[in-house]
Structure 1
Amino acid sequence: MPTYTEQKPSSTMGNSALPCLCWLEVGVIELFLFGGLVTLAYLLHFTEIIPVVQQGFICQDIALSKPFAGPSEAVPWPVLYAMAFGAPVVLILVGELSPVLYQLGVGAMRDRAATAGQQGVPTFLRRLVKFTGLHLFGGCSALVLCGLGQVMTGSLAPYFLSVCSPNYTLLPVVSASPDGPSCVPATFITDDICDGSAEEVYNARRSFPSLHATLSWYAAVFMALYASSALCLRGTRLIQPLLVMGLLALAFLSAASRVTEYRSHAVDVLGGSVLGAAIAVYLVGILSFCLRICSVSLVSKIRLTKTTDPHITHGPF
C-alpha cells in the first residue's frame, strides 16, 4: 500500500475552499456579504433611517382601535433575541461536543481529522462552525426579509389609532361630535394626521410580518431539524420527539402572544411564522446538501492532486 508524505494545500485548493462554510477558512467575499447583511438588519430594526410606507386607514376602524399594552410584553425583545440566536448556538455546542466528551470519558477518543485540504482540523470543530454559521446567517436573513416586508407594506398594527392620536382638525372635512371634531365615518384617510409619539407610530406601521413570529419559528424549526437529523441522543426514544414538540410549542406561544396583546393581526403572525420556518427548512435542507457536495468535490480534487503531483514520494508500507 503506497503512503504519501504530508503536503500543504496549494493556493488553487485554498481558493476553491473559500465558498464552503464547512471549512474554517472563510473567503473575504463571504465575510463582506455577512457584514452587509448584519448592517442592513441593524438599520431596519434598530434605527428609523429607512422610511416605512405610509398606509391610509378608515375613519374609526375597529380593527385598528385596540388598546396599546405599553412596553410590557409577554415575550420581551431581549428574551426573543436570546431564544432566536443564543439557544440554537447552545444546542449546537452541546450536540457537537457531547460525543467528543463521551469518547474522552471512555478513553476511545481518536484524532479523526478529516482534513480535506486543511490538516489538523477535527471533524466536530468543522461541524460546529458549519452549523453555527448556517444558523447566524439564517437569523440575519430572517431579520432582513422581515424588516423589508414591514417597511415595504406599511401594515398598520391593531393598536395604531391608540398611539396615532389622530388630529381630525387637519382633515378638509370634519364631522362634529360630542367629544369634539371627528372624521366622517367610513372615510379613507391618507394624510399624516398623527399627533402621537413618532417612534410608537413608526413601530405601529410595521405589523406585517410579525418579527416575533418570524424569529421564534425560525429558531424553533432550525433547532427541531438539527435535533432530528444531527443530534444523537442516547436513552429513551421519546427524547427527540419531546424536544421537537417543546420547541414548536414555544414558538407557537411566542407568536400567539402578539395576537392576544393586540400587537399584531393573525395574518401578520401567520406570515411571519411561514417566513421563519421556510428559511430554516431551506438552510438545513437545501444548503446543507450543497455543502456536502462541495466537501466531496474538494476531497476529490485533493486526491487527484496527490496522484498527479510529481513532488509526492511513495514509501514502503
Structure 2
Amino acid sequence: MSRLTLALDAMGGDIGPRIVIPASVKALEQDPMLSLLLFGDCRQITPLIEHLPAEIANRLQVRHCTRTIENNQDLSHALRHSKGTSMRLAIEAVRSGEAQGCVSGGNTGALMGLSKILLQPLQGIHRPALVSMIPTIEGERSVMLDLGANIECDAETLYQFALMGSIFAQNTLNLVYPRIALLNIGTEEIKGYKSIRDAAKLLEQDGTLNYIGFLEGNFLLNGKADVIVSDGFIGNIALKTLEGAAKNLIGLLGGTTPGGIIRHMLRTIFRRLIKYLFKKRYAKLAQINPDQYNGASLIGLTSVVVKSHGSAGIEAFTYAIKDAAQQVRQNIPNKILSGLQPD
C-alpha cells in the first residue's frame, strides 16, 4: 500500500466538521499510509481534534478558511465567488500536487464546475460524469452513471459514459468485458427518449463493448448489468429512490421508532416476525445499506474527486474517504485515459 494525501472539504455537507472530522479520524486509523488536508474553519475543527493520539494527529493538517459554498447557491454565483472557499482550496491542493485526490459533501454543481475548471477533463471527454457503485441482491456490485452531474445528455455523451463506466468497472470490480445497459422505461427498441435510442445504436456498433440493451428500473439491483448508464436527471432520481427505500426498510426491520408504548410494541413484534420469516434474506438486505456505498466519483477528470452525500453520517463519509484513496492507488484517471485511446 502506497502513501498518499487527500484533500477534504471539511465544511461541505449538511453538518460539516461534526461528520467530516470523526470520519477523517476513522479513515486514518484504518489506513496507516493515509494523510489528510482539512480545509475549513479552525474554530469549529480544533475542538474536535484536540486530544488525538500523536500517530493520528501527525497525519492530519488543518488549513484555515472561513468561506464556504452553500448548497442552495446558484451555480454561476458559486463559481464566481468561490475564491478562498473550503471546496475550492481542497481542489486547488490537488491541482498543485499537495494532494492526490479530493473529497467533498458540498454543492454538487459547484464541485463539478470547479473540478472541470481547475483539474480539467481527460483528453477527448465532453463531460465528466458522477459514478457510484450500487449493490445487488446477490452481494455483488454494479457501476451506475451519471448520477446528477449532467441533467441533459445527447447520444454521444451517453456513449462516452458507457465507455468510461466500462473501464471503471474493469478496474474497480476486476471484470472482463462488463455488461453495459441503458436505463430506460422499457426494453423495446422504440421506448425512451431519442437520445437514449440513438445511444443504443452507437453502443451496438462498438464491438469492443458488451452492450446488452435497455434495463428497466425494477432490475437495478438484480445484477443483470455491470454498468448502468443514464443521464444525470434519471440517474439521480433512481439512485435516491433506491437509497430511500433501503433505509426505510432497514429502519423498519432493525431500527427504533418513536411513538406510544402500544405502537412501539406492535412495531417491535412486526419487525421480529419479518426477521423470522426472512431469516436469510435479511442478511442480504443489510448489504444494501446505502452508507456502505456512499461516494460518487467524478470520472473523466485528470484527478480523483469524490462527492459524498450531503446527509452522510460518519460511517458513510469514512467510506467516501476510503473510496477516494483506493481510486488514487489504482490510478483510475490514467486507466480511463488509456482505455479511451484507440489501439
TM-score, normalised to structure 1's length? 0.26
The structure, 1 or 2, with the larger RCO (C-alpha pairs under 8 Å, 6+ apart) is 1
Structure whose residues are more often strand by fraction: 2
Q: Which entry has the higher C-alpha Rg, 1 or 2? A: 1
